[in-house]
Amino acid sequence: MKRYRNGEIWDFEHQMPVAAGAGGVILGLDGGTTSTVCICMPILPFSDPFPDPVPVLARAVAGCTNHNSVGEAAARETLEQVMAEALANSGSNRSVVRAVCLAISGVNHPTDQQRILDWLRDIFPSHVRLYVQNDAVAALACGTLGKLHGCVLIAGTGTIAYGFTEDGREARAAGAGPTLGDWGSGYGIAAQALTAVVRANDGRGPDTKLTSSILEELGLSSPDELIGWTYADPSWARIAALVPVVVSCAEAGDEVANKILFDSVQELGLSVKAVVQRLGLCGPEGKDSFPLVMVGGVLEANKRWDIGTEVIKCISKGYPGAVPIRPKVEPAVGAALLAWNFCMKESLKEAFKR
């Protein structure tokens, strides 16, 4: 174990000795494009069911940890800082950590996982069990309390659909980032709205209430200023923050805004349908039930234009067995529950080998 980059991140451990016999803890981390949350959870006896509510000793929040968005060095530094803060807030240190599960957007390939695992191994003692997943996996787990079965749809700044069968097969759709078309995401919705304003301004598209509403929101005086505003800082979260403006315009009856949201619903529905079809979650006749976990700010209820409800209606037409779940715990807790389940399975395998 060694310190990565900034040694002072872990200096608190020298002033915070952990009492002998202290119980172990698990770190669960949900790293998105907008923010990162890390929670510290006490390790639960394997024979016990999960208590309700799930106990959380401490919680820490930081910025983006998607290496595709901020770069690998910045992502790693933020990850280390938020894990250290969660441990410090819980009165624990690395010596009592039993497992860590990082669920991070931008983890799209086994090489991504291995690179992060190698880095984590330099931070934590050798006894700590380490797991790295895409953030969609933790989002599914927060709805199913750690069980990897069903499909999750995330629609926040970015979007992805991810699914697992009970025998461990997995599939995903979308989640390739805005350049490759994250349609239905917060970024995708807002980018289409900005495009609609530019098109209306130069005569290529219809007039829209989006023009006055977005200019007012951004404190700009003309659509021509949007170009400078957009490219001064084209970060995904900054663009996606305009989604509430698009929803308000749609609720006020603007046809352009309504079409953007309607098209987004169809795209999000297509992502889920692609995963369900590839995994056969709906059964041979298309009627079997399966959990459909819904996560992300885009899917939260609005006054009249409820994107999440419309997506559920779209999916239920083809797959009536879909069981929508709005999680009661956040994805960081889902990541911790995943680590707990992985530990339990590995411990049982080791016990059978004896």
Distance between CA 284 and CA 268 in Å, rounded?
23
What pLDDT shows up at residue 2? 47
Distance between CA 37 and CA 200 in Å, rounded?
40
Distance between CA 101 and CA 130 in Å, rounded?
6
Distance between CA 188 and CA 181 in Å, rounded?
8
What pLDDT shows up at residue 163? 97
For 293, other C-beta atoms within 10 Å of its C-beta total 25
What pLDDT shows up at residue 51? 75
Domain annotation for the chain: domains and CATH numbers: 23-147+330-353 (3.30.420.40), 186-325 (3.30.420.40)
- CA 348, distance to chain mean position in Å, is 30
What pLDDT shows up at residue 309? 94
* Cα distances (angstroms) measured from residue 219 to each of 188, 227, 252, 334: 22, 14, 21, 39
What pLDDT shows up at residue 68? 80
What pLDDT shows up at residue 117? 94
Per-residue pLDDT of the chain (354 residues; tens, 9 = 90+): 444 444 578 888 877 666 544 579 999 999 987 899 999 999 877 655 677 788 999 999 999 888 887 888 888 999 999 999 999 999 999 999 999 999 998 887 889 899 999 999 999 999 999 999 988 899 999 999 888 999 999 999 899 999 999 999 999 999 888 888 788 999 999 999 999 999 999 999 999 999 999 999 999 999 999 999 999 997 888 999 999 999 999 999 999 999 999 999 999 999 999 999 999 999 998 889 999 999 989 998 766 789 999 999 999 999 999 999 999 899 999 999 999 988 887 777 766 666
Q: What is the pTM of this model?
A: 0.82
- CA 66, distance to chain mean position in Å, is 10
List helix spans (H) across the chain: 12-15, 67-70, 72-90, 110-121, 135-144, 186-202, 209-218, 225-232, 236-240, 243-251, 255-279, 307-318, 331-353
What pLDDT shows up at residue 1? 46
Distance between CA 71 and CA 77 in Å, rounded?
10
Distance between CA 216 and CA 234 in Å, rounded?
19
C-alpha count within 13 angstroms, C-beta hemisphere, residue 254:
23
